[in-house]
Amino acid sequence: MKTSDQIIEEWLVINCQAGDRKAFELLVKRWNPKMLGRVYHTTKDASASQDIVQEAWIAIIKKIKTLHDPGAFQGWSLRIATNMAIDWIRSNQTNRKREEIRKVVQIEFAEKTNRPDEETIGALKQAIDQLPKEQQVVIKLFYQENLSMITISGLLDLPLGTVKSRLFRGREYLKNILEQKLYQDEKE
C-alpha cells in the first residue's frame, strides 16, 4: 500500500506532466535538498552542485512527460542529476589533466631554455608555419586559443582521436625543432 507521501508525489508528477507550474514548484521544493545532497556527494563541490542541480531540473521539466510511471519519479530524477554530476566530473578531470600536462611542458621548457628569447620564439613560429595545415590549425587552436580538444573536435567537425593525433604529431615536430635549436645554441 502506498503512503500518503507517495500518493502526493505521484499527484504532483501527474499535474506537472499536465503543465501545472505550481505542481512543478512543489516537486522542486520537495526534492531539491535530496538532489543537492546526492550531487554534492558525487562532486564534492558545493558551487558546482548547485549549478548541476539547476541544470537537472531544467532537464527534468523538459522530459517529465516521458515518465510513464509517476511513482518512479524519485529514482528517475535522481538518476538524471547523478548522471549530470558524473559528466561534470569527467569534464573537470579532462580539464585538470590538460592543465597538468601544460604545466609540466611549461616547466620542462623553462628548465631547458630558462626563458625563451625572441630568436627561440621566432624559431617556434617558423616551425609552426612549417607544419601541415591540419596540424597548424589544431596547434594554434589548442595553445593560442586555449580550446579543449573536445571543442576543437566539434569546431573542425573531426573525430576526437584525429584531433589528438594531429596535436601529438605537431608537438613532436615542434619539440624536435626546439631541441635542435637548443643543441645549436649550446654548441655556440
Of 69, 73, 93, 71, nearest in space to 81 by CA: 73
Question: For the chain, where are the alpha helices, taking DSSP H only?
Answer: 4-17, 21-43, 46-63, 73-113, 118-130, 133-139, 149-156, 160-187
Structure-block grid coordinates of residue 130: 612549417
Structure-block grid coordinates of residue 84: 549530470
Give pLDDT tens digits for 9-21: 889 999 999 999 9
Burial class (CB in 10 A: 0-12, 13-18, 19+), 52: buried
At 96 the three-state DSSP class reads helix
What pLDDT, on a 0 to 100 scale, did the predictor assign at position 116? 58
Return the number of other C-beta atoms located less than 10 Å from residue 96's C-beta. Answer: 10
Contacts of 177 (CB under 8 A, 6+ apart): 123, 124, 127, 130
Q: Quote the pTM value.
A: 0.49
Give pLDDT tens digits for 37-90: 999 998 888 889 999 999 999 999 999 999 999 989 989 999 999 999 999 888
Eight-state DSSP code of residue 116: -
Q: What is the amino acid identity at position 125?
A: K
Structure-block grid coordinates of residue 148: 579543449
Structure-block grid coordinates of residue 47: 558551487
CA distance 152 to 164: 10
* Domains along the chain with CATH numbers: 4-89 (1.10.1740.10), 116-187 (1.10.10.10)
Give pLDDT tens digits for 166-184: 999 988 888 887 777 766 7
Structure-block grid coordinates of residue 187: 654548441
Q: How many CA atoms lie within 13 A of 28 on its CB side?
A: 17
Name the average pLDDT for the chain: 85
